[in-house]
């Protein structure tokens, strides 16, 4: 049995959960998220001391069910955290002349190409720019927030010689030694 899958998820009073036909819907103050989980996992919602408790159990004793047990519990727990607190990823731009700005909902990046790169974030994802060099990606879905941040970083990843590019905040970039002069 999965150690993570055996743990129950305790929901606060402001969060509501509905499970029908393995479609889990979590609703909270920041929004509403839904996830379809495998038929090998069964979700039961119990009411204990004015709080809802979610318990995941395996319906069949197969290797695939054991693999999905902990994964399903983690996905549902991330949904609960997302609708209650939300998720954030911080990026920073380093390089002479590199900058970013917001144009309505779109993020415009000037990072050394001959044209500005425009990123249109998906629904439920908000992008904020501070000081033209700090970018914050926020949202309720952990997976989508991480994917948008990775897409922004992939436009100009940090290079190993001078460290120019877009990187996660507190990311350590190993620098290489340049060519030896004669």
Domain boundaries, the chain: 3-84, 87-168
Transcribe 167-178 into DSSP letters.
EETT---PPPP-
Q: CB atoms < 10 A from the CB of 152, how many?
A: 24
- Give SS3 for 153: helix
The pLDDT tens digits for 49-80 are 888 899 999 988 899 999 999 999 999 999 99
Global pTM value: 0.89
The pLDDT tens digits for 127-162 are 999 999 999 999 999 999 999 999 999 999 999 999
CA distances from residue 72 to 48, 81, 113 in whole angstroms, order as listed: 22, 14, 42
Task: Give the domain 3-84 fold.
Answer: Outer Surface Protein A; domain 3 (3.90.930)
Kindly report the average pLDDT of the chain as a whole number: 92
pLDDT band at residue 39 using 50, 70 and 90 as cut-offs: very high
CA distances from residue 6 to 91, 113, 175 in whole angstroms, order as listed: 35, 50, 43
* Confidence (pLDDT) at 1: 55
Separation of alpha carbons 115 and 119, rounded Å: 13
* Confidence (pLDDT) at 76: 95
Q: Which CATH superfamily is domain 87-168 in?
A: Ribosomal protein L6 (3.90.930.12)
| In 35-141, alpha helices (H) | 63-84
């Amino acid at each position: 049995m999965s150690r993570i899958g055996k743990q129950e998820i305790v929901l606060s009073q402001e969060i509501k959960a509905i499970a029908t036909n393995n479609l889990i819907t979590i609703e909270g103050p920041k929004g509403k998220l839904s996830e379809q989980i495998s038929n090998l996992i069964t979700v039961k919602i119990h009411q204990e001391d004015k709080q809802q408790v979610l318990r995941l159990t395996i319906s069949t004793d197969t290797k695939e069910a054991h693999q999905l047990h902990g994964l399903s519990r983690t996905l549902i727990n991330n949904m609960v955290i997302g609708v209650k607190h939300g998720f954030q990823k911080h990026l920073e731009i380093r390089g002479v002349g590199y900058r970013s700005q917001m144009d309505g909902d779109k993020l415009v990046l000037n990072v050394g190409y001959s044209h500005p790169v425009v990123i249109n974030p998906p629904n439920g994802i908000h992008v904020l720019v501070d000081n033209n060099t700090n970018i914050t990606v926020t949202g309720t879905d952990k997976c989508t927030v991480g994917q948008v941040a990775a897409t922004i970083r992939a436009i100009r990843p940090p290079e190993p010689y001078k460290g120019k590019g877009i990187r996660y905040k507190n990311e350590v970039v190993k620098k290489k030694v340049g060519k030896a002069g004669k």
